Structure 1
Amino acid sequence: MGQFPPGQQFQPMRPPGYPYQPGFPPPRRGSGAKAFLLGWLISGFGATVFAGLLLASYEDLSKVGLRVMYVIFALVLALAVGSVAGKVGGPNPGAYVAPALLAMLAVFLGTTNGYVFVLLDAGGSELLEAMLEHDPGSPAEFWWKVLKGGFALLGLALAGGGVFAVASIVGKRQR
């Protein structure tokens, strides 16, 4: 058996092209928990901004304008949440599911909260209390009826599917 030159240690044989020692999995990249947390924060911020935009523009906004604004909001939210979830979640597709669901929830809550903000601004708290006592589901009915159902579902699909698609693209580039 030969001696090693001074300063060099014994190196175990590894299969070619395998940078890790056999028996140990490669280190995980990405964090599903961080993707969830950042998706939650961005979705909550986006829903609040959209509700504020509805409040600021309700006097001049038509039903068609509301539908266009809703679809654009779903797309912008999908890009924002998807890019962050893909960057933080890495190539793990399981890390994209929760942010996609959170974006869908944000699209819904942004619209319904905007409706509540408009009612508070237009009629005050007495009108809002009376309306919610008589029909507590009216914000959800507003979301469904004013957006004609199809646009409501389109916004949800764009938000959820867009987050997953963008996160997948960004996550694969992380490899």
Structure 2
Amino acid sequence: MSQSYPPPPGQPQQPQQPQYGAPAPGAFPAPGGYPPPAPAATGNAGLAIVAGIVVMLIVAAIYGAILKATDGATIGYAALALGAAIGAVMGKIGGRNPAVPVIAAVLGLLCYYLGGILAFAFALGDIANVSFFEAFFQHFDLLNEGWTKSLEAIDALFFILAAAGGFSTARKLAG
């Protein structure tokens, strides 16, 4: 390592060289300096999944009650809203994790399915004069069979809407 000594009196001082890796004088970009650093990945994907499941169960119950009240008349925008509700919560909590929108889409699909099953459970409870819990937990096979037979071609679009709502909302709201 070399040491530099001050020049003898009467001799001009040498300009100091910039350190290795430092920008040369005058090499700074336009006013405003360097661009800000890229934002770090934020959010908690595990908590987002738990919150998404909780929201899925709540929204599916509400959707099932709406389906029962409308005698099973499906509403296309409702399927989109199911996924969007799940995606909004997951996107805000999960941040920029790339798995969060995919899981939100899957939960949107499950929510649409579960809402339909719950509507059948509410109806079966009324028809057979049994509690909702008995209809749901003891006769799930009948509920699934009845719901499956009630599906129409348009329901494929509703599944797609539920998944798309979850995926796109989670992706857009990722913080």
Same-fold call, TM > 0.5? yes
The alpha-carbon distance between structure 1 residues 143 and 17, as it changes in their structure 2 partners (threshold 3 A), is farther
**Displacement, 1:161?**
2.1
**1:95-118: CA deviations, max 9, x gaps?**
222222122111101111211210
Structure 2 Cα separation of the partners of residues 111 and 91 of structure 1: 31
Which residue in 1 is equivalent to 2:143?
A: 139
Larger Rg: 2
CA contact (8 A) 1:83 1:167 kept: yes
The alpha-carbon distance between structure 1 residues 76 and 41, as it changes in their structure 2 partners (threshold 3 A), is same
Superposed, which structure 2 residues align to 1:150-165 within 5 Å?
150-165=153-168
Structure 2 Cα separation of the partners of residues 37 and 106 of structure 1: 14
User: Which structure shows the higher helix fraction?
Assistant: 1
- 2:81 maps to 1:76: yes
Unaligned runs of 5+ in 1: 2-12
**Displacement, 1:19?**
6.6
CA contact (8 A) 1:81 1:163 kept: yes
Indicate the larger mover: 38-47 or 96-105: 96-105
Percentage of pairs with the same residue: 29
Superposed, which structure 2 residues align to 1:9-20 within 5 Å?
17=34
**Letter aligned with residue 92 of structure 1:** N
Q: CA RMSD in A?
A: 3.3
| TM-score, length basis structure 1 | 0.67
SS state at 2:58 partner: helix
| TM-score, length basis structure 2 | 0.67
Structure 1 Cα separation of the partners of residues 89 and 54 of structure 2: 11
Structure 2 Cα separation of the partners of residues 97 and 34 of structure 1: 15
Which residue in 2 is equivalent to 1:8?
A: none
